[in-house]
Structure 1
Amino acid sequence: MIDELREYQFTTEAWEKYWTLFESLCLPIRGDKYGKLQGLWQERVGDNVTFRHLWRYESLDERARLRAQLIKVDAWRENFLPQAAAQVSQQFLQVLIPRLETVIDSLAPVRYLHKYRCPTGKAGAVIQQINTAVAEGRSHVCGLWATEFSDPNQVVVMGADTEAPQVDIQASLVVETRSLKPLRVLRT
């Protein structure tokens, strides 16, 4: 199983146009037929908006197959994509491998995104320590992922806590925390 975290950046004005397109075209066209939507979040900083959404697929091959089917849908290709692309300032995506040992029913509590930039070879140790903290009740994490693409030394955590789960490794570790506003969160 893989998850794809898609991130788009907008001006405030472009965001309003994009969100209307997303709700009226993207969601009705895609549904869960081309990947299962896990949740939607936004972050506002000044006049900029970052929109994130998380999609689940059985595998990378399944993602490629479903994306190839989606691009064949006339409404997607001719209506949504051209209008949506005109609003986007920047786009990023990450392919993530779920690594949380505790089963979580929903990403509803997610309010923070923590990204750990690990030294080479240390991501596994960070994941193990976070899973231990969750199992012992020291951290409330809704999602924990190893990054397949683009940075294999990055660990991604979503949760309700402002503070990122603490880890103790004998090397430099950079943790970036972003505050998220849920737009719509669906059951996994």
Structure 2
Amino acid sequence: MLYEMRTYRLKTGAVPAYLALVGEDGLAIQRQHLGTLVGYFHSEIGRLNEIVHIWAYSDLNDRDARRAALAADPRWQAFLPRLQALIEEMENKILKPAPFSPLG
């Protein structure tokens, strides 16, 4: 099992619009293709205007296949520019759980 942590730094003040957009349209498309959502968060203290979401995959091949299916979906292709308009920076990490992690 591995986890993909995606962090987006949004334009100042864009968190409510981003969350509404994802909640109303984007998440249903993502869940259909990406599978297991571990969590979806926004910052409250510290570096503001950040969104973090974490997805679980069995391995890198599973992730690659799922991300490719999402990218090929015409609904996602139509949705993505609306989301990208709110994003300033992106960071992506692949995380492997430690042997004692409860999410192993």
TM-score bracket relative to the smaller structure: 0.7 to 0.9
Q: CA deviation at 1:65?
A: 0.6
- Give the AA of the match of 2:13: E
Separation (CA, whole Å) in 2 of partners of 1:46 and 1:55: 23
Q: 1:97 maps to what in 2? A: 96
Q: 1:81 maps to what in 2? A: 80
| SS class of match (2:41) | strand
Q: CA deviation at 1:11?
A: 3.0
Contact between 1:11 and 1:47, CA under 8 Å: does it hold in 2?
A: no
Q: CA deviation at 1:102?
A: 5.1
Q: Alpha-carbon deviations, 1:57-81, whole Å to 9, x = none?
A: 0111110111111111111111x21
TM-score (norm 1): 0.50
- Give the AA of the match of 2:102: V
Aligned residues: 104
More helix, by proportion: 2
Unaligned stretches of 5+ residues in structure 1: 105-142, 144-188
- Give the AA of the match of 1:98: P
Q: CA deviation at 1:12?
A: 3.9
Contact between 2:6 and 2:90, CA under 8 Å: does it hold in 1?
A: yes
Q: 1:20 maps to what in 2? A: 20
Q: 1:30 maps to what in 2? A: 30
Separation (CA, whole Å) in 1 of partners of 2:87 and 2:47: 14
TM-score (norm 2): 0.86
Indicate the structure whose relative CO is greater, using CA pairs within 8 Å and at least 6 residues apart: 2
More strand, by proportion: 1
What's the % identity of the aligned pairs?
Answer: 29
Unaligned stretches of 5+ residues in structure 2: none
Structural RMSD (CA):
2.1
| SS class of match (2:72) | coil
Moved over 6 A (4+): none
Q: 2:61 maps to what in 1? A: 61
Q: CA deviation at 1:13?
A: 2.5
Q: Which has the larger radius of gyration?
A: 1
